[in-house]
């Protein structure tokens, strides 16, 4: 293919179009019209690529008869990369949006304004899509709205007026996303998603935290801690924490399956604690009583079998019995 002056112009048009729709258009603009701009960028690129391949003088030559053996005959093949580029541009925009939200995103409380499900039938097969409309108002600015596609389980758990979390780009608050899945929430809030260890307990004591501060602290360690009548509970991890600031003591409960019982992660962390815990055990009747003691803490361990009515889960798989471990943690010399 000879690169004459005209082909160089079309090549320049292809490169310019790719650059413009790849990084030249702002994320905020793309966010308003992602589908249209992805299609427009792909269509223009395919058009200029066809003009380049066929060495056309203008788009009007597309309507003329094409001689056999002419490079103009293969020019329509440019539609193939054009179709691919629609998805490439869209995915690239999505990755740009995710990158700025992860790096510069601000989390804010938002509300569900409305939602709808749409069912379509094609070839006797039904497909249902779900969408919610969300509103949020960043400080010192107007209220923003956006719609987001979600899955069926998320749709069924939401309702009009429900409170959710939204992450938005401070530079352009219209660039935003509802945080609905567990993975999105953990990533946005930078949650470690692990069980409590001794250093976490020690921090609660030494920092003399309020209930609100404790809950915030716990939610940076594991997802979905809540308070229930003064007790901190994480039902997902099957652990609970009751704190008595006056007596400088707390009770830590953890439920573990015997089939996966390698000891509590909290108890394991005592071996590596800077406090230097010494373990002791004694028999009281047929029951072994275990305790850990350091210069600043004494911890008493108890455990018992949890009640279980059915040894099989809903899928018919055997379900191991569970043990409840209770650690009473007392701070000495507060």
Q: Which residue has the tokens 């997802």?
A: 223
What pLDDT is stored for residue 258 in this prediction? 59
Average pLDDT, the chain: 83
Nearest to 93 by CA among 195, 25, 194: 25
Percent residues over pLDDT 90 in the chain: 29
pTM (2 d.p.): 0.62
Question: How many whole angstroms separate alpha carbon 270 and alpha carbon 296?
Answer: 13
What pLDDT is stored for residue 82 in this prediction? 94
Lowest mean pLDDT among 7-11, 27-31, 236-240, 261-265: 261-265
Is the pLDDT confidence value at 276 over 70? Answer: yes
The residue that leads in pLDDT, 190 or 143, is 143
Q: Which residues in the chain belong to E strands, given as ranges?
A: 105-122, 125-136, 144-150, 163-169, 172-179, 226-228, 231-234, 239-244, 249-257, 278-284, 287-293, 297-305, 322-331
Percent residues over pLDDT 70 in the chain: 88
Question: What is the Cα Rg of the chain in Å?
Answer: 30
What are the pLDDT digits (tens) for 183-216? 888 788 777 778 888 888 888 888 888 888 888 8
Is the pLDDT confidence value at 63 over 70? Answer: no
What are the pLDDT digits (tens) for 214-223? 888 888 888 8
Averaged over 94-105, what is the pLDDT? 90
């Amino acid at each position: 293919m000879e690169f004459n002056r005209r082909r160089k112009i079309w090549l320049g048009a292809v490169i310019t179009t790719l650059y413009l729709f790849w990084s030249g258009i702002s994320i905020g603009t793309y966010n308003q019209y992602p589908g249209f701009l992805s299609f427009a960028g792909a269509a223009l690129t395919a058009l200029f690529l066809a003009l380049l391949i066929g060495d056309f003088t203008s788009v009007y030559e597309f309507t003329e008869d094409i001689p056999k053996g002419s490079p103009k005959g293969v020019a329509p093949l440019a539609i193939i990369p054009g179709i691919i580029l629609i998805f490439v541009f869209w995915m690239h925009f999505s990755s740009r949006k995710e990158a700025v939200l992860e790096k510069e995103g601000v989390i804010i409380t938002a509300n569900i304004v409305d939602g709808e499900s749409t069912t379509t039938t094609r070839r006797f097969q039904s497909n249902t899509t779900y969408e919610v409309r969300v509103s949020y108002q960043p400080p010192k600015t107007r209220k923003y709205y956006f719609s987001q596609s979600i899955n069926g389980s998320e749709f069924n758990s939401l309702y009009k007026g429900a409170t959710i979390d939204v992450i938005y780009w401070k530079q352009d608050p219209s660039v935003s996303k509802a945080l609905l899945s567990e993975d999105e929430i953990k990533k946005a809030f930078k949650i470690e998603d692990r069980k409590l260890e001794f250093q976490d307990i020690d921090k609660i004591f030494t920092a003399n935290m309020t209930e609100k501060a404790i809950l915030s602290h716990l939610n940076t360690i594991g997802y979905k801690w809540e308070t229930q009548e003064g007790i901190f509970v994480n039902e997902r991890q099957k652990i609970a924490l009751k704190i008595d600031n006056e007596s400088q003591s707390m009770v830590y409960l953890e439920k573990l399956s015997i089939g996966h019982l390698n000891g509590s992660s909290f108890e394991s962390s005592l071996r590596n604690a800077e406090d230097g815990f010494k373990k002791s055990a004694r028999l009281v009747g047929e029951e072994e009583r275990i305790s850990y003691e350091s210069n600043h803490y004494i911890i008493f361990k108890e455990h018992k079998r949890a009640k279980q009515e059915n040894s099989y889960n809903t899928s018919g798989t055997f379900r191991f019995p569970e043990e409840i471990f209770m650690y009473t943690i007392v701070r000495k010399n507060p």
